[in-house]
Structure 1
Amino acid sequence: MSDETKDAAAKRARLERAARLMGDLLPETTRDESPEGWSERGGTSRDDELRRDVPPHHGSD
């Protein structure tokens, strides 16, 4: 690999990192455009925790 090619690759990597840090890169698809449903998304939210912790006498809904 020539020095010119290495320099170009390093510059491209720096620019991409800077754009990512500054929020200039957007995902190809957003979560709203994905085929998975709201309940299928990864991670747990505070709402999910509260729904799991409902006492039995409060019912499921």
Structure 2
Amino acid sequence: METDLKLVKAVLDLMRDSVPTDCQDLIDELSKKIIRDLKEKGANKAMREWYGITDEDLEMVVRK
């Protein structure tokens, strides 16, 4: 998991460096939230929350 977080941080840093300076604060805030969510919730749960995927959604996919 730590290696994955380092990779995510590296990608976020690249994104930060590629946006105009007036957008970097926004990227910093979002980066902190992303890293915090990944650490606290794990990738699966964090992404489900970010994209609004419910258990019912997953059940429908499995049934098909």
User: TM over 0.5: same fold?
Assistant: no
Q: Could you say which structure has the greater relative contact order, defined with CA pairs below 8 angstroms and 6 or more residues apart? A: 2
Decide which structure has the larger Cα Rg and report it. Answer: 1
Q: Shorter-chain TM-score: what band?
A: 0.3 to 0.5
* TM-score (normalizing by structure 2): 0.37
* TM-score (normalizing by structure 1): 0.38
Which structure features the higher share of helix residues?
2
